[in-house]
Amino acid sequence: MATVSFDKATRVYPGSTKPAVDQLEIEIADGEFLVLVGPSGCGKSTSLRMLAGLEDVNAGAIRIGDRDVTHLPPKDRDIAMVFQNYALYPHMSVADNMGFALKIAGVNKAEIRKKVEEAAKILDLTEYLDRKPKALSGGQRQRVAMGRAIVREPQVFLMDEPLSNLDAKLRVSTRTQIASLQRRLGITTVYVTHDQVEAMTMGDRVAVLKDGLLQQVDSPRNMYDRPSNLFVAGFIGSPAMNLVEVPITDGGVKFGNSVVPVSREALAAASAKGDKTVTVGVRPEHFDLAEAGGAAGALSKDAPAGLAVTVNVVEELGADGYVYGTADLGSERKDIVVRVNGRAVPEKGAKLHVVPRAGETHVFSTSTGERLTD
């Protein structure tokens, strides 16, 4: 087992002036499951390949345990990688695929068989050991790829979007298997995905990248509750956080027909940057429905409180419902998502008035995107 350190690790591809990964700095604890997540082209797979030794490191360093592995070849790093496309040998049986790395390393046949059978038992593959990969389903092939990594007993597991070739239902069940397996084995794991739901449900910590730059690294709960900037706020969460630019007013911000209280520190920080507006973030589940006829908080006694949202689409999910609507904010129309009671969903074309729940708003600088609230 080992810790992993990215120490200002940078990768610039030949012919490019902009780094694909720019001074990445992350400390990964021994036995931790860290997920690298971000949109396509953000540098997450490049970061993983730098750790694996498949990409050069142009500046900075990478350490596994106490060893500086920055310029070591992959075979000397004591890592095992699970790829998106499984990378199984089609002419070999499952057992031979799983034990191939040990065979190359000169381990005797009895020891290889013992390790393969132990891994197969963990992964529920015992009855498939004599089959060829073509006789297996996608999920079973993925487990064989996992087994091949397990039998090597590496210091670090590296996984590059291993579930992206599976169908939706299998992806959900396999991600829970991988997460529970990692906890049982206790092997430090770095996992790359573009799926933020996967990241939030699997990782001990999540690192969000954008354009080669680390945006935030934190526990899934902290990242959901306290995104550090507008990008993380909009990326983490499904459906995404509603982000609305609103004018600053006395004691808070103007949100439709209501004034939403905001801390003085946040407003002072916005004013110091010269901002006349702030961007308020509200999760779909943190809206309350306001009653018509001058509800509390309304600027006018005749107008309902909050923001008027016209319902365009309703997604009924049984226990919950999600309303996708539009609202007029100043001179523009803005898409808004609101979670509602699954037993009392509104009709299409209806108008709702929504107010952010007290203490559940996130305030960001409109000019810099930085978080202003504690």
> Which residue(s) pair with 113 in the sheet?
none
Q: What is the pLDDT of residue 358?
A: 80
**How many Å separate Cα 23 from the centre of its chain?**
20
Most confident range (mean pLDDT) of 145-154, 187-196, 273-282, 284-293 is: 187-196
**Helix orientation angle between 168-185 and 138-151, rounded to the nearest 10 degrees:** 20
pLDDT band, very low/low/confident/very high, at 1 (cuts 50, 70, 90): low
For residue 115, give its domain range: 4-234
Greatest Cα pair distance in the chain: 84
Q: What is the DSSP letter of 183?
A: H
Q: Are residues 201 and 259 in the same domain?
A: no
Does the pTM surpass 0.75? The reply is: yes
Dist. CA 146–CA 123, nearest whole Å: 8
What percent of the chain has a predicted confidence (pLDDT) above 90? 59
Domain check: are 68 and 159 in the same one?
yes
Please check whether residues 219 and 255 belong to one and the same domain: no
CATH number, domain containing residue 64: 3.40.50.300
Of 234, 255, 278, which residue sits at a domain end?
Answer: 234
Same domain, 272 and 307: yes
User: What is the predicted pLDDT for the residue at 299?
Assistant: 46
Lowest mean pLDDT among 35-39, 166-170, 201-205, 223-227: 166-170
Does residue 112 surpass a pLDDT of 70?
yes
Domain count, the chain: 2
Q: Count CB neighbours of 134 within 10 A.
A: 9
Burial class (CB in 10 A: 0-12, 13-18, 19+), 167: exposed
User: 227 with 248, same domain?
Assistant: no
Taking a C-beta distance cutoff of 8 angstroms, is the pair 94, 153 a contact?
no
Span 164-191, mean pLDDT? 88
**Whether the predicted pLDDT of 297 surpasses 70:** no
Angle between the N-to-C axes of helices 109-122 and 138-151, in degrees from 0 to 180, rounded to the nearest 10: 130
User: For residue 156, is pLDDT > 70?
Assistant: yes
**Confidence at 295, pLDDT banded by 50, 70, 90:** very low
CA proximity to 262, closest of 354, 364, 366: 364
One domain, residues 146 and 53: yes
On the question of pLDDT at 41 being above 50, the answer is yes
- Of 217, 234, 251, at which residue does a domain stop? 234
Q: Which runs of consecutive H residues, i.e. helices, occur in the chain?
A: 44-52, 94-104, 109-122, 138-151, 168-185, 196-202, 220-225, 230-235, 264-272
What value does the mean pLDDT of the chain take? 89
| 181 is a domain residue | yes
The CA-based angle 77-82-85, given to 5 degrees, is: 135
Tens-place pLDDT, residues 80-98: 999 888 889 999 999 999 9
Mark whether 77 and 155 lie in a shared domain.
yes
* Mean pLDDT, residues 49-67 taken together: 95
Predicted pLDDT of residue 359:
84
Distance (Å, whole) CA 122 – CA 319: 35
Q: What is the rounded distance in angstroms from the CA atom of residue 250 to the CA atom of residue 267?
A: 10
**Lowest mean pLDDT across 71-80, 172-181, 255-264:** 255-264
Residues 167 and 193 in one domain: yes
pLDDT, average across residues 34-59 = 95
What DSSP designation does 368 have? T
Burial class (CB in 10 A: 0-12, 13-18, 19+), 100: middle
The count of other CB atoms within 10 Å of the CB of residue 55 is 18
Q: Which of 158, 224, 222 is nearest to 192 (CA)?
A: 158
- Over the stretch 324-365, which tens digit does the pLDDT of each residue have? 999 987 778 899 999 998 888 888 989 999 988 888 899 999
pLDDT band (50, 70, 90) for residue 171: confident
Considering only 84-98, 145-159, 288-302, 323-337, which range has the smallest mean pLDDT?
288-302
The bridge status of strand 332-341 relative to strand 320-329 is antiparallel
pLDDT, tens digit (0-9, with 9 covering 90-100), for 315-325: 998 888 999 99
Mark which of 189, 213, 234 sits at the end of a domain. 234
